[in-house]
Structure 1
Amino acid sequence: MKIDRGDWLKIPNLLSYFRVLLIPVFSYIYLTAITIEDYMIAAGILFISGLTDALDGYIARHFDQGTQLGKLIDPVADKLTQLAVATMLFIKWPIVMYLLLLFIIKEFSIFLMSYLLFKKRKIIDGAKWFGKIGTIVFYSCMFILVIMPEMSERNIIALILLTSIFQVIAFIGYINLFFSMHKQVQ
């Protein structure tokens, strides 16, 4: 993978760096939140992170600012943000542990599958529709959990279950894609 010097400062990549920088800010504000306003600020940071994620992809595609570095840093920023949010929610609500474990298993497996394909000079080029839907559902449900700190346990479980279902669908989609691509290179 060749990374040009100018790629570091392209707008989509700067937005990805910004998202990574928001992670400790979100984590601190969420962990120290006491009032509903504090939780609203944490949710606002999460919203800004999601908005910059959508914006960096739009700018990369529509203004020819896509880079090899961006193909690496954007998903890393996404996964680190998702991991941080799920971890912070787990600290508040231990029931989130099941979603956090599912997320870790899914992402580690996808990383491993991508590495095996990379060794055979194949790559999964960008997120697929099932992965994007899983991410949208993940962020939506996590946003609701962040902004509504007094939610009932039944509703928390419902959101975790909904998110988990879409994570499993995405995981199955990537497993099928991996095996399909793996067969092509044998």
Structure 2
Amino acid sequence: MNLPNFLTLIRFILIPAYLVVFFSDMPWHVHWAFGIILLAGLTDVIDGYLARRMRQITQLGIMLDPLADKLMMLSVFLSLLISGKIGIWAAFVIFFRDVTMILCSMIFHLRGKKTVPANIFGKLTTFLFYIALFLLMFNFSIAQTFLWSVIALSYLTSLIYMVQLKAINQQAM
């Protein structure tokens, strides 16, 4: 296992750590939970950088990296739904998009099709989701409006991803 993939696996471990901290009664638990989210984001940036720099981009990494990101985000948004910081509709459209993306990637991978690594739109969307999480977790008044804007962008990003996925697999034929 290479270092970038190991860092991706750490992000999987951070998911239950985040949930335990977020729902704990410890002082500053929301601050600590947000710190775990930031740590997950940092490992995402570092593993991507190392994979490219060390030429260790693997199909496993291409598959696991976005899965770790999406599962972390789903866990965070689930915690925000349970705690009442977001409504059911926001959670539903986020869950629907991410679960659909995970299932489509899995189906493509199992059928031997190529998957598309993260592009600039996906990275921008992820960055904006981090801002939305900060605004939501710390109760900023613009949080809901900002979240819905990022959700709209995320659907556009998914559409771009699907077009790229179709194109790369048509070229492979």
Pick the TM interval, shorter chain.
Answer: 0.7 to 0.9
Match of 1:172 in 2: 159
1: CA distance between counterparts of 2:24 and 2:87? 19
2: CA distance between counterparts of 1:126 and 1:53? 13
Q: Report the alpha carbon displacement of residue 168 of structure 1 after superposing the two structures with TM.
A: 1.9
SS at match of 1:32: coil
User: Contact 1:47/1:143 (CA < 8 Å) preserved in 2?
Assistant: no
Instruction: Name which of structure 1's ranges 159-168 and 57-66 shifts more when overlaid on structure 2.
Output: 159-168
1:137-164 superposed Cα distances (whole Å, 9 cap, x missing partner): 1122113322x1xx25x52321321221
1:26-47 superposed Cα distances (whole Å, 9 cap, x missing partner): 1111112564x22211111111
Aligned pairs for 1:5-44 (under 5 A) are 7=1, 10-33=2-25, 35=27, 37-44=28-35
How many pairs are equivalent?
173
Structure possessing the higher relative contact order (Cα contacts under 8 Å, 6 or more residues apart): 1
Distance 1:113 1:185, change over 3 A: farther
If the length of structure 1 is used for normalisation, what is the TM-score? 0.78
2: CA distance between counterparts of 1:58 and 1:180? 25
CA RMSD of aligned residues (A): 2.6
Q: Report the alpha carbon displacement of residue 100 of structure 1 after superposing the two structures with TM.
A: 2.2
Gaps of 5+ in 2: none
Distance 1:120 1:25, change over 3 A: closer
Match of 1:86 in 2: 77
2: CA distance between counterparts of 1:106 and 1:82? 11
User: Contact 1:15/1:53 (CA < 8 Å) preserved in 2?
Assistant: yes
Moved over 6 A (4+): none
User: Contact 2:62/2:117 (CA < 8 Å) preserved in 1?
Assistant: yes
Aligned pairs for 1:1-186 (under 5 A) are 7=1, 10-33=2-25, 35=27, 37-93=28-84, 95-114=86-105, 117-118=108-109, 121-146=112-137, 148=138, 151=139, 154-178=141-165, 180=167
Larger Rg: 1
User: Contact 1:138/1:163 (CA < 8 Å) preserved in 2?
Assistant: yes
Q: Report the alpha carbon displacement of residue 73 of structure 1 after superposing the two structures with TM.
A: 1.8
